[in-house]
Amino acid sequence: MGCINESWDQDDRKGVYSCPQCRQTFTPRPVLGKNTLLNELVEKLKKTGLQAAPPACCYAGPLDVGCDICAGRNLKAAKSCLLCLASYCETHLKLHNDLNQGKNHKLIDATCLQEKICTRHDKLLEVYCRTDQQCICLLCVMDDHKGHDIVAAAEERTEKQKQLGENNLKSQQRIQEREKEMQELRQAVDSLKRSAQAELFDSERTLTELIHSVEKRRSEVKELISAQEKAQVSRAKRHLKQLEQEVAGLRWRDAELKHLSHTEDHIHFLQHFQSLCVPLGSEGTPSIIVTFKHVKKFLAELKERLQDICKEEMDRIYGKG
C-alpha cells in the first residue's frame, strides 16, 4: 500500500492514477483498501511453512522466461498474463488465478512481455499501424499515429497470413526450380565427363597412328583436354555448392514460415514476419560448354600433314631408287 501511495503521489500533477498491476486508470484518486483475499492467501502461506527447494531444472536459465513474482532466484514461468503484464511460475500462477477468479485475464504460454509493451506509454501493444508498419498501443493511436490506417492485430495477422501462404507457395516453387537446375547441372557435368573421356579416347587412337616423333604432342593434347575438363567441372561444382546452400536456406526459411504461421502470438508473428519474407536473390546457372572441336580439328590437320609428308618422302625415296 505504501508503494502504491508513493507512486500515486507522483501522479498528482497529472490528475490520472494508474494501477501498477492491471494498468487501469482512475480519476479522481480512489481510496485504497486492504485486499482481504490476498491477506487470507498470505496467511495460508505462512501457516504452510517453508517447503523443500525446487529442483535446479525448475529455475529459469538465460534462455528461459523467469517468474516476475519469485523472490531471489526466479523459477521458470509457465504462463504470461497479457492483462497483468507479468509471467508466473506454477505456484504464483495458482495465486494469480485465485486472486482473479471470474475476471477476464488472458493467459498465454510464457513469453518475453517486454517486446509486447509500448516503450513510450508502458501499455500493451494491441493494434497495428499500417501506415508506419508497426505494432502500437491504444495511446499511440491518439498520439503519434493519429489519422493513420489502424487495424486490430488479429485483422492484420489474417492479412499477413494470406501473404504468408503466398510466400510459402513461392518458396516451394523456388525450391523446385533450384532442384531442377541442380539436376540439369549434374547432367551437364556427366555429359562433360563423358565427352572428355570420348575425346581422350579419340585423341589417343589418332596419336597412336602417328610416328614416335609426335609422342610429345600427344601428351600436350591430353593435358589440354584434362585441363579444360577440370576447369569446367570445378566451375560447375562451385555453383552446385551454392545451389545446395540456397536450397538449404530456403528449406530453413520455409520451416520458419510454417512455424510462424502456427503461433498464437500476434505480436510475435508481426514482429518476425517481415524479416522472414524478404525475397532471396539468386544467380543464374552457368552454362557448361561441352566441345573439343578445336582439338579434333588440330589433330586431323596434323595427321593429314604428316601423312602428306610421309607420302612425299616415300615418293622421293622410291624416285631415287
The DSSP 8-state label assigned to residue 35 in this structure reads -
pLDDT in tens, 47-69: 654 555 566 557 766 777 888 88
Those residues whose C-beta lies under 8 Å from the C-beta of residue 127, and which sit 6 or more positions away, are: 135, 136, 137, 138, 141, 150, 151, 152, 153
- Domain residue spans in the chain? 175-320
pLDDT in tens, 147-170: 899 999 889 999 999 999 999 999
Count CB-CB contacts under 10 A for residue 270: 19
Q: Give the per-residue pLDDT at 114.
A: 77
d(CA 165, CA 149): 24
Radius of gyration of the chain (CA): 39
Identify the CA nearest to 70 among candidates 92, 52, 55: 92
Residue burial 192-204, b: 16+ Cβ < 10 Å; e: rest? beebbeebbeebe
Q: Give the per-residue pLDDT at 285.
A: 56
Q: Give the per-residue pLDDT at 292.
A: 66
The DSSP 8-state label assigned to residue 18 in this structure reads E
Note if the pTM is more than 0.85: no
Residue 274: phi, psi to the nearest 5?
-65, -40
Show pLDDT as tens, one digit a residue, over the chain (321 residues). 777 777 778 777 777 777 766 677 877 888 877 777 777 777 776 665 455 556 655 776 677 788 888 877 778 888 888 878 888 888 888 888 888 887 888 888 887 777 888 888 888 888 999 999 999 988 899 888 888 999 998 899 999 999 999 999 999 999 999 999 999 999 999 999 998 888 888 877 776 776 666 667 767 778 877 888 888 888 888 888 988 888 888 888 888 888 888 888 888 888 877 777 766 655 555 555 556 677 778 778 877 887 887 788 667 766 754
Count CB-CB contacts under 10 A for residue 208: 10
Q: Give the per-residue pLDDT at 209.
A: 73
d(CA 87, CA 84): 9
Identify the CA nearest to 48 among candidates 97, 100, 98, 91: 91
What is the spatial order of strands in the sheet that 134-136 belongs to? 134-136, 127-129, 150-152
Count CB-CB contacts under 10 A for residue 173: 10
pLDDT in tens, 246-292: 888 888 888 888 888 888 888 888 887 777 776 665 555 555 555 66
Identify the CA nearest to 152 among candidates 121, 127, 123, 186: 127
Collect contacts of 252-258 with beta carbons under 8 A, ≥24 apart: 253/171, 253/280, 254/168, 254/171, 254/172, 254/175, 257/164, 257/167, 257/168, 257/171, 258/168
Those residues whose C-beta lies under 8 Å from the C-beta of residue 263, and which sit 6 or more positions away, are: 269
d(CA 109, CA 65): 10
